[in-house]
């Protein structure tokens, strides 16, 4: 009716044609019971029931009934979650969805966690975020491609595996065996935790970077990059960890902002003035003043650098007449530091310093040039930079340009070598070595000032010890040549949050090369052989292809197990134009673990590497056929998304991007989602020493005392979903208790819905929306809006918004509004009445929609509700039955305006009776002829009614709808006024309608059964309840 009426209104606003009652009185003298006689409650009846009148009719009231528990705690909660996982097929769900037909696929490529310890809340945050998205996409009908993986190689695993045994006396194979056993144990523990958290995957089919097939795919990427000249061997400075005795990549560093260095100001006497400097006034000799935070590098100095376009001054110290060369703009700072005045003797441009030669302060007869360099700044120091090419990346660039010596004075243990001289040999450079160099400078009269400098300094990410920069012969990737292509590829990638894109680009800019070789045993060997005499490397596509085949068949242990004749057979030597195998030895370096994980796109996502022939081998041949299906019918093997923490901006995100761009000229992902770290409730980094570590196993299963209750997996998942994942994510008792309470409130709502659907079968008893009450139709409209908002939020990786939308819908639309209105109809109308079935149809749709919407976040609760919900076949589970089934036909024109117009009137009325019971009032609503009047008549066709939809919405005893308030209002009538803006047909029809309300206490009595004020007397049932009770008895 409303649709027809609103359609008519949209065609012509001028035609109202509805009757009004300007002269009608507000109150009717008595209720009219024309069709039934009043049923009185006798004392005998009450006595027979041994209770009050309401108790007499309790059996006729349809109160909610459900076996769904309102609350689950402790061991019962844990047992219930495990039982649900078993009964609802959590373990088989991934394989089931891989085998079903789907039009689209969704690939979330799992960044492999490191297999070196127990699961922690960082794992929980990351893995649950991924599972939420996977479950959402699967419910929407997509086929999910998600293969969990583990990063299994590297020094940290070696260190933990060997413990106090150390490495002495152990062969590489012995080390590898212990490391593998340790990694396998860590993987088993982490995998068990991931399953307990409810993650959807085939846990028998995961990828591991120590698997032979994976290693073979990795070597094919290595070969492709080597053949393009992107991988090369060179002798250049790298980050070196003395504590680990290996080279490190930038991604393996942690910067300690509170590192304390012994900074010094020292002089290099000018033995030859630059031609651009006049000698007038400089007869006493000039010394170049430099500043460094690494005094131990002074013995390796090869030059002093200046800024060509800057201005420099020769200054005279007032306290001892020493002449110093410093940058003009640094003169004041240096004077304050030295505690003396500095008088300028001469000023020059940087370019005028060209050709100057200095004497080394501690090495007699060693001369070092003054050279221009772009990396010199005026932020600190003297504007003149001590340059040791062996121990600085920028210093090395200067050496490359000017052909300086790159002589390393530091060994693998971080100690001075024999080349540093007998005074320094074997001294640790960061400790006693620094002491000795400073002492030598002091003795030479070259030390002007020493001070402590607190600054950010790189540390080994695992040993937590400072690193040094030293040159070493290593294998590198030329990232400088990939940078522009990588940036271009990244512009096509969606990044969440967008602010992370800047960090990705800046890290690409800073990385000119990537050291990928490590001096360890537990890793993928670099497939290179060296000539015994010349040390020349032998590596080509024939060798790498042969080694990759061996690794696929036997695993990379065969690099040490097999004789070199098998690794380097005659046919490969012949193709390589190499000499006899006896001329060669196998290399001992392994690949950086960031290269291991960075090629996972090739080992896991691609069925075949680009350029392979029709050879029917697959990189995932160890997986069953359904898991090896190509991602899409075309050849696009990019993942839809990578989801990892912000530490992977310089790690896996970047290594994956660089290797993929190098081989395929595209990013391996279409989207990146970057989340923050899990921190303590106080925002602190978790640390055992601080005692603030939150163990996810304890969160789920509880601790040893009552202060750490068992929350279950869904609380952990709710915490992840509710958090602002783009910043640091706090976890502690407050956050977990809040999550538990929120789920508890949600359970109450779900129990109410289930209880009121007892005995209802939506397959046979559902009411067509066109026959529904308008408030019920309106709630379908609201459910449609809710489903759209929730779907949008999930699509944006914003599970926190999902929860906010859910809670707003449950609290505002359901609990505070709809439930409060329909309880009377649900409990007191005839069981099979159209009005009650209309309401139940909507409740079932709401239950179904809410349950599906929480499924990705709370899979255990969702499946538990689904087991209790009506209308499902035996064995059917929520996750095999799809997403929210809202319909566009639920959004009907005029429906929203009708109900919300009535609600606006109700709000005006209620504000006039603060603290009083609305059910005890009769209302007269006066609206001038117009759109609002038409809409209200859709809710109440009679002039006066106690049972109309308008009366139900107002929750009052009786409503009279008229075009003007009567003149004979009683003195106790409460008047209120308001306006409501109607906006129909996209704004084509707009009308601001005024209304007036008169509220008068009702003369009717409260019905002893339904408790509405619609009875003739206190002992009499109302007209609605009389026939229901008569039939019941």
Residue ranges of the chain with pLDDT lower than 70?
1-54, 164-168, 279-281, 283-284, 607-635, 985-987
Phi then psi for 168, rounded to 5 degrees?
-65, 130
| Residue burial 541-573, b: 16+ Cβ < 10 Å; e: rest | ebbbbbbbebbbeebbbbbbeeeeeebbeeebb
Contacts (Cβ under 8 Å, ≥6 apart) of 796: 496
Contacts (Cβ under 8 Å, ≥6 apart) of 6: 893, 894, 897, 935, 984
CA distance 150 to 208: 5
Q: Under a CB-based contact definition with an 8 Å cutoff, are residues 17 and 989 in contact?
A: no
CA distance 221 to 662: 9
CA distance 774 to 890: 11
User: What's the pLDDT tens digit per position in 879-888?
Assistant: 999 999 988 7
CA distance 888 to 721: 28
Contacts (Cβ under 8 Å, ≥6 apart) of 485: 661, 665
Q: Under a CB-based contact definition with an 8 Å cutoff, are residues 721 and 731 in contact?
A: no
Three-class secondary structure of residue 141 per DSSP: coil
Three-class secondary structure of residue 766 per DSSP: coil
Rounded to the nearest angstrom, the gap between the alpha carbon of residue 126 and the centroid of all alpha carbons in its chain is 6
Question: What is the DSSP code string of 221-288?
Answer: HHHHHHHTT-EEEEEEEEEEETTTTEEE-GGGEEEEEEEEEEEEEEEEEEEE--TTS--TT-TT-EEE
Cα dist from 748 to 88, 585, 828, 856, 1032, whole Å: 22, 72, 22, 20, 30
Per DSSP bridges, beta strands 537-538 and 529-531 are antiparallel
Contacts (Cβ under 8 Å, ≥6 apart) of 418: 425
Per DSSP bridges, beta strands 468-477 and 231-241 are antiparallel
Torsion 750-753-758-759 (CA) sign? negative
CA distance 479 to 486: 9
Contacts (Cβ under 8 Å, ≥6 apart) of 588: 519
Identify which of 351, 307, 311 has the alpha carbon closest to the alpha carbon of residue 331: 311
- Rounded to two decimals, the pTM is 0.84
Three-class secondary structure of residue 903 per DSSP: helix
User: What's the pLDDT tens digit per position in 731-740?
Assistant: 989 999 999 9
Question: What is the DSSP code string of 366-422?
Answer: -EEEEEE-TT--SSSTTSEEEE-GGG-HHHHHHHHHHT------B-TTSBB-GGG-T
Q: What is the pLDDT, as a whole number, of residue 1006?
A: 94
Strands (E), 423-563: 447-460, 468-477, 494-496, 514-515, 517-518, 529-531, 537-538
Q: Under a CB-based contact definition with an 8 Å cutoff, are residues 485 and 663 in contact?
A: no
Cα dist from 189 to 115, 116, 193, 983, whole Å: 10, 10, 6, 59
Instruction: Cis check for the bond before 497: say yes or no (omega within 30 of 0).
Output: yes
| Element (DSSP H or E) covering residue 107 | strand 105-109
Q: Strands across the sheet with 494-496, in order? A: 143-145, 105-109, 641-645, 671-675, 494-496
Q: What is the pLDDT, as a whole number, of residue 744?
A: 94
The DSSP symbol for 1017 reads S
Question: What is the DSSP code string of 524-572?
Answer: PBP--EEETTT--EE--HHHHHHHHHHHHHH-TTHHHHS-HHHHS-HHH
Torsion 597-600-604-609 (CA) sign? negative
Q: What is the pLDDT, as a whole number, of residue 606?
A: 80
Q: What is the pLDDT, as a whole number, of residue 900?
A: 92
Half-sphere exposure (Cβ direction) of 656: Cα atoms closer than 13 Å = 30
CA distance 80 to 69: 11
Longest CA–CA span in the chain (Å) reads 130
CA distance 380 to 378: 6
CA distance 909 to 975: 8
Q: Is 48 exposed, middle or buried (0-12, 13-18, 19+ CB in 10 A)?
A: exposed
Rounded to 5°, angle at Cα 984 from 983 and 990: 45
The DSSP symbol for 650 reads T
CA distance 300 to 409: 7
Q: Kindly compute the dihedral angle of the four CA atoms of residues 838, 841, 847, 849, in this order, to the nearest 10 degrees.
A: -110
Rounded to the nearest angstrom, the gap between the alpha carbon of residue 733 and the centroid of all alpha carbons in its chain is 21
CA distance 6 to 17: 14
* Residue that has been written with the tokens 């000229």 in this structure: 665
Three-class secondary structure of residue 907 per DSSP: helix
């Amino acid at each position: 009716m409303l649709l027809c009426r609103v359609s008519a209104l949209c065609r012509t606003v001028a035609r109202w044609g509805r009757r009004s009652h300007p002269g009608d009185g507000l109150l009717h003298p008595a209720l009219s019971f024309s069709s039934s006689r009043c049923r009185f409650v006798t004392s005998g009846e009450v006595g027979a029931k041994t209770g009050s009148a309401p108790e007499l009719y309790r059996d006729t009231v349809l109160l909610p009934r459900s076996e769904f528990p309102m609350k689950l705690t402790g061991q019962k909660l844990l047992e219930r979650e495990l039982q649900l996982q078993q009964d609802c097929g959590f373990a088989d769900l991934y394989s089931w969805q891989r085998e079903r037909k789907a039009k689209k696929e969704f690939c979330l490529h799992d960044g492999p966690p490191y297999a070196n310890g127990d699961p922690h809340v960082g794992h929980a945050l990351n893995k649950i975020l991924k599972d939420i998205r996977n479950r959402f996409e699967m419910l929407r009908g997509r086929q999910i491609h998600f293969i969990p993986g583990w990063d299994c190689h590297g020094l940290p695993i070696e260190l933990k595996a060997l413990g106090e045994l150390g490495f002495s006396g152990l062969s590489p194979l012995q080390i590898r065996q212990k490391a593998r056993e340790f990694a396998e144990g860590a993987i088993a523990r982490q995998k068990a935790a991931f399953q307990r958290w409810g993650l959807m995957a085939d846990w028998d089919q995961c990828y591991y970077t120590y698997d032979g097939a994976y290693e073979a795919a990795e070597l094919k990427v290595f070969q492709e990059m080597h053949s393009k000249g992107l991988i090369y061997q060179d002798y250049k400075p790298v980050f070196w960890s003395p504590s680990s005795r290996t080279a490190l990549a930038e991604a393996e560093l942690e910067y300690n902002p509170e590192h304390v260095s012994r900074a010094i100001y020292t002089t290099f006497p000018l033995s030859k003035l630059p031609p651009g400097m006049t000698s007038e006034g400089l007869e006493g000799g000039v010394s170049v003043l430099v500043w460094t935070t690494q005094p131990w590098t002074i013995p390796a100095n090869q030059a002093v650098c200046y800024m060509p376009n800057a201005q420099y001054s020769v200054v005279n110290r007032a306290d001892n007449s020493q002449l110093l060369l410093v940058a003009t703009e640094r003169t004041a700072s240096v004077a304050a530091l030295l505690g003396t005045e500095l008088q300028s003797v001469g000023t020059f441009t940087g370019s005028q310093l060209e050709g100057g030669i200095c004497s080394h302060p501690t090495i007699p007869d060693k001369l070092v040039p003054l050279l221009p360099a772009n990396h010199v700044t005026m932020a600190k120091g003297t504007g003149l930079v001590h340059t040791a090419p062996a121990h600085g990346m920028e210093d090395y660039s200067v050496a490359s340009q000017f052909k300086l010596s790159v002589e390393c004075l530091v060994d693998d243990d971080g100690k001075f070598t024999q080349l540093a001289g007998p005074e320094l040999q074997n001294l640790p450079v960061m400790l006693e070595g620094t002491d000795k160099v400073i002492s030598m400078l002091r003795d030479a009269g070259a030390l002007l000032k020493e001070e402590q400098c607190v600054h950010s300094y790189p540390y080994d990410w695992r040993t937590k010890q400072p690193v040094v920069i030293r040159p070493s012969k290593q294998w590198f990737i030329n990232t400088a040549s990939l940078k522009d292509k990588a940036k271009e590829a990244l512009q096509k990638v969606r990044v969440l949050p967008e602010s992370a894109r800047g960090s990705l680009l800046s890290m690409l800019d800073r990385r000119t090369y990537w050291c990928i070789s490590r001096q360890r045993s537990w890793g993928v060997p670099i497939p290179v052989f060296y000539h015994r005499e010349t040390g020349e490397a032998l590596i080509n596509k024939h060798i790498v292809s042969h080694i990759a085949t061996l690794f696929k068949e036997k695993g990379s242990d065969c690099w040490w197990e097999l004789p070199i004749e098998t690794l380097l057979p005659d046919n490969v030597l012949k193709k390589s134009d190499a000499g006899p195998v006896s001329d060669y030895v196998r290399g001992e370096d392994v690949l950086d673990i960031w290269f291991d994980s960075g090629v996972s796109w090739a080992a896991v996502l691609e069925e075949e590497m680009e350029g392979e022939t029709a050879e029917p081998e697959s990189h995932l041949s160890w997986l069953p056929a359904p898991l090896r299906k190509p991602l899409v019918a075309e050849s696009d093997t990019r993942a839809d998304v990578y989801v990892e923490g912000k530490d992977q901006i310089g790690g896996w995100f970047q290594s994956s991007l660089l290797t993929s761009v190098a081989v395929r000229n595209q990013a391996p992902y279409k989207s990146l989602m970057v989340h923050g770290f899990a921190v303590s409730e106080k925002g602190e980094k978790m640390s055992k020493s601080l005692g603030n570590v939150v163990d996810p196993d304890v969160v789920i299963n509880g601790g040893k005392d009552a202060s750490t209750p068992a929350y279950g997996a869904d609380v952990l998942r709710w915490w992840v979903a509710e958090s602002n994942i783009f910043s640091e994510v706090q976890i502690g008792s407050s956050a977990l208790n809040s999550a538990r309470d929120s789920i508890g409130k949600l359970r109450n709502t779900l129990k109410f819905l289930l209880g009121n659907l007892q005995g209802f079968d939506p397959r046979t008893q559902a009411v067509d929306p066109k026959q529904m009450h308008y408030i019920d139709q309106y709630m379908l409209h609201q459910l449609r809006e809710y489903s759209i908002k929730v779907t949008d939020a999930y699509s944006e990786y914003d599970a926190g918004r999902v929860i906010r939308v859910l809670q707003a819908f449950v609290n505002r639309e359901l609990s505070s509004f709809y439930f409060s209105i329909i309880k009377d109809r649900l409990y007191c109308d005839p069981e099979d009445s159209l009005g009650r079935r209309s309401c139940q149809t909507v409740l079932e749709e709401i239950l179904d929609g809410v349950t599906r919407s929480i499924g990705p976040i709370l899979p255990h609760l969702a499946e538990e509700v689904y087991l209790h919900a009506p209308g499902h076949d035996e064995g059917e589970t929520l996750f095999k039955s799809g997403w929210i089934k809202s319909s566009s036909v639920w959004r009907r024109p005029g429906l929203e305006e009708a109900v919300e117009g009535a609600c606006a009137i109700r709000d005006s009325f209620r504000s006039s009776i603060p603290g009083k019971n609305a059910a005890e009032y009769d209302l007269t609503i006066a609206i001038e002829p117009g759109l609002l009047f038409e809409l209200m008549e859709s809710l109440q066709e009679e002039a006066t009614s106690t049972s109309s939809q308008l009366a139900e919405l107002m929750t009052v005893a009786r409503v009279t709808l008229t075009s003007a308030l009567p003149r004979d209002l009683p003195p106790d009538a409460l008047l209120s006024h308001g306006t409501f803006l109607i906006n129909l047909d996209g704004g084509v029809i707009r009308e601001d309608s005024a209304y007036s309300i008169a509220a008068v206490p009702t003369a009717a009595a409260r019905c002893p059964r339904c408790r509405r004020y619609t009875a003739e007397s206190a002992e009499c049932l109302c007209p609605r309840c009389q026939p229901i009770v008569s039939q019941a008895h």
